[in-house]
Chain A
Amino acid sequence: MHTPIYLVLANGTVLEGESFGAVGDTVGEIVFATGMTGYIETLTDPSYYGQIVVQTFPQVGNYGIIGADFESTRPWLEAYVVREACEEPSNFRSEGSLDGFLKKYGVPGICGLDTRRLTKIIRESGVMNGKLTSKSPYDHLDEILEEIRSFRITHAVESVTCKRATVSVCEEERFHVVLMDFGLKENIKRSLMARGCTVQVVPAHTSAEEILALKPDGIMLSNGPGDPAENIEVIATIEKLLSSGVPMFGICLGHQLTALAAGAKTIKLKYGHRGGNQPVKDLFSDKVYITSQNHGYAVDSSSLPPQVGTVSHINLNDGTCEGVRYQGIPVFTVQFHPEAASGPQDTQYLFDEFVRLMEREGKQ
Chain B
Amino acid sequence: MPRNQEIKKVLVIGSGPIIIGQAAEFDYAGTQACRALKEEGLEVILVNSNPATIMTDRAMADTIYIEPLTIEVLERIIQIEQPDSLLSTLGGQTGLTLSMQLAKSGFLEQHGVKLLGARAETIDKAEDRQLFKETMQSIGEPCIPSQVVTTVQGALAFAEEIQYPVIVRPAFTMGGTGGGIAADPTELREIAGNGLRLSPITQVLIEKCISGWKEIEFEVMRDAKGNVITVCSMENFDPVGVHTGDSIVIAPAVTLSDKEYQMLRSAALNIISALGVEGGCNCQFALHPHSFEYGVIEVNPRVSRSSALASKATGYPIAKVATKIAIGYTLDELTNAVTGVTSACFEPALDYVVVKFPKWPFDKFVYAARTLGTQMKATGEVMAIGTSFEQAIMKAVRSIELGLDSLRMPKLAAYSDVEIYSLLNVCDNERAFVVYEAICRGISYDEIHRITKIDRWFLAKLGKLSAMEGSLRQETLEDALYRKAKNMGFLDSTIQTLSGQEIPKKRFASYKMVDTCAGEFEAQTPYFYSTFDEENEAAEFIQKQGSQKKKVIVFGSGPIRIGQGIEFDYCSVHCVWALKKAGYEAVIVNNNPETVSTDFDTADRLYFDPLTPEDVQSVIETEKPDGLVVQFGGQTAIKLSKYLKNGSVPILGTSPDNIDAAEDRKRFDALLESCGIPRPKGLTVFTTEEALRAAETLGFPVLLRPSYVLGGQNMIIAHSAQDIEEYMQIITATELDNPILIDQYLMGKEVEVDAICDGESILIPGIMEHIERAGVHSGDSISLYPAQTIPHKIVETICAYTEKLSKALHVIGLVNIQYVVFEEQVYVIEVNPRSSRTIPYISKVTGVPLVELATRAMLGEKLAEMGYGTGLYKKASHVAVKVPVFSFEKLHDVDTHLGPEMKSTGEVLGIADNVHDALIKGLVAAGYQLRGRGGVFITVRDSDKQEILPIAKKFADLGFILYATKGTAEILFAHGINTSFVHKIDEAAYNPITLIESGNVHYVISTSAKGRKPARDSVKIRRKAVERSIPCLTSLDTANALADCLASSRDISTVQLININSI
Contact in complex: A58, B387 (CB < 8 Å):
yes
**B345 cross-chain contacts in A, Cβ below 8 A:** 279, 288, 316
Stretch in A62-70, A135-143, A235-243 touching the partner: A62-70
Cβ of B792 to closest chain A Cβ, rounded Å: 65
- Name the residue of chain A whose CB is nearest to the CB of B519: A119
Contact in complex: A56, B256 (CB < 8 Å):
no
Cβ of A328 to closest chain B Cβ, rounded Å: 30
Cβ of B302 to closest chain A Cβ, rounded Å: 22
Q: How long is the Cα–Cα vector from A119 to B291 in the complex, in angstroms?
A: 35
A88 at the B interface (CB under 8 A): yes
Q: How long is the Cα–Cα vector from A81 to B266 in the complex, in angstroms?
A: 29
**B388 cross-chain contacts in A, Cβ below 8 A:** 58-59, 83-84
Cβ of B845 to closest chain A Cβ, rounded Å: 47
B1021-1033: CB near A (< 8 Å → 1, else 0) gives: 0000000000000
B455 at the A interface (CB under 8 A): yes
**A344 cross-chain contacts in B, Cβ below 8 A:** 262, 265-266, 347
The answer, among A59, A69, A87, A288, for a CB contact under 8 Å with B258, is A69
Q: How long is the Cα–Cα vector from A69 to B345 in the complex, in angstroms?
A: 28
Contact in complex: B342, A56 (CB < 8 Å):
no
- Name the residue of chain A whose CB is nearest to the CB of B290: A92
- Name the residue of chain A whose CB is nearest to the CB of B265: A344
- Tell me whether A63 and B352 are in contact in the complex, defined as CB-CB below 8 angstroms, given that A119-B519, A281-B332, A316-B332 are known contacts: no
Question: How many of A's residues come within 8 Å of B, CB to CB?
Answer: 53
Stretch in A37-45, A178-186, A193-201 touching the partner: A37-45
Does more than half of chain B's interface fall in helix, strand or loop, or is it mixed?
A: loop
Contact in complex: A88, B387 (CB < 8 Å):
no
**A300 cross-chain contacts in B, Cβ below 8 A:** none
**CB contacts between A and B, total, < 8 Å:** 153
Stretch in B224-232, B686-694, B724-732, B754-762 touching the partner: B224-232
Contact in complex: B457, A278 (CB < 8 Å):
no
A76-104 with Cβ < 8 A to chain B: 83-84, 86-93
Cβ of A59 to closest chain B Cβ, rounded Å: 6
A210-227 with Cβ < 8 A to chain B: none
Q: How long is the Cα–Cα vector from A115 to B463 in the complex, in angstroms?
A: 24
- Tell me whether A275 and B255 are in contact in the complex, defined as CB-CB below 8 angstroms, given that A117-B535, A317-B346 are known contacts: no
- Name the residue of chain A whose CB is nearest to the CB of B347: A277
A341 at the B interface (CB under 8 A): yes
- Tell me whether A92 and B291 are in contact in the complex, defined as CB-CB below 8 angstroms, given that A37-B256, A57-B518, A287-B226 are known contacts: yes
Contact in complex: A316, B256 (CB < 8 Å):
no
A146 at the B interface (CB under 8 A): no
Contact in complex: A58, B520 (CB < 8 Å):
no
Q: How long is the Cα–Cα vector from A87 to B390 in the complex, in angstroms?
A: 14
Q: How long is the Cα–Cα vector from A221 to B535 in the complex, in angstroms?
A: 43
- Tell me whether A123 and B255 are in contact in the complex, defined as CB-CB below 8 angstroms, given that A92-B290, A281-B332, A344-B262 are known contacts: no
- Tell me whether A34 and B518 are in contact in the complex, defined as CB-CB below 8 angstroms, given that A57-B350, A58-B352, A340-B262 are known contacts: yes
Q: How long is the Cα–Cα vector from A286 to B970 in the complex, in angstroms?
A: 79
Cβ of B832 to closest chain A Cβ, rounded Å: 42
Q: How long is the Cα–Cα vector from A66 to B260 in the complex, in angstroms?
A: 12
A346 at the B interface (CB under 8 A): yes
Residue in B253, B254, B257, B352 with the greatest tally of chain A CB atoms within 10 Å: B257
B517-535: CB near A (< 8 Å → 1, else 0) gives: 1111110000000000111
Q: How long is the Cα–Cα vector from A69 to B350 in the complex, in angstroms?
A: 23
B348 at the A interface (CB under 8 A): yes
A108 at the B interface (CB under 8 A): no
Q: How long is the Cα–Cα vector from A276 to B518 in the complex, in angstroms?
A: 12
The answer, among B252, B387, B460, for a CB contact under 8 Å with A36, is B252
- Name the residue of chain B whose CB is nearest to the CB of A84: B388
The answer, among A91, A279, A346, for a CB contact under 8 Å with B343, is A279
- Tell me whether A90 and B456 are in contact in the complex, defined as CB-CB below 8 angstroms, given that A114-B534, A117-B535 are known contacts: yes
- Name the residue of chain B whose CB is nearest to the CB of A316: B343
Contact in complex: A35, B349 (CB < 8 Å):
yes
Q: How long is the Cα–Cα vector from A59 to B266 in the complex, in angstroms?
A: 23
A290 at the B interface (CB under 8 A): yes
B166 at the A interface (CB under 8 A): no
Cβ of B561 to closest chain A Cβ, rounded Å: 31
Cβ of A327 to closest chain B Cβ, rounded Å: 26
Q: How long is the Cα–Cα vector from A275 to B521 in the complex, in angstroms?
A: 13
- Tell me whether A88 and B457 are in contact in the complex, defined as CB-CB below 8 angstroms, given that A59-B353, A317-B521 are known contacts: yes
B192-232: CB near A (< 8 Å → 1, else 0) gives: 00000000000000000000000000000000011111100
**B350 cross-chain contacts in A, Cβ below 8 A:** 36, 57
Cβ of B459 to closest chain A Cβ, rounded Å: 8
B512 at the A interface (CB under 8 A): yes
Q: How long is the Cα–Cα vector from A340 to B520 in the complex, in angstroms?
A: 20
- Name the residue of chain B whose CB is nearest to the CB of A342: B258
**A89 cross-chain contacts in B, Cβ below 8 A:** 457
Q: How long is the Cα–Cα vector from A342 to B256 in the complex, in angstroms?
A: 12
Task: Please name the 4 residue pairs, one residue from A and one from B, whose CB atoms are nearest each other, closest first.
Answer: A88-B460, A38-B258, A90-B457, A56-B518
In the complex, besides A41-B258, A62-B457, A84-B388, 19 extra interface pairs with C-beta distance below 8 angstroms are A32-B520, A34-B518, A35-B349, A37-B252, A57-B518, A59-B353, A62-B254, A63-B255, A83-B388, A88-B460, A92-B290, A116-B351, A116-B519, A119-B351, A277-B349, A287-B225, A288-B332, A343-B258, A344-B266
Question: What are some 20 contacts across the A-B interface (CB < 8 A)?
Answer: A34-B520, A57-B349, A58-B352, A58-B388, A62-B255, A83-B387, A87-B460, A90-B456, A91-B255, A91-B257, A116-B512, A117-B534, A123-B520, A277-B348, A288-B227, A288-B331, A288-B343, A290-B346, A317-B346, A345-B262
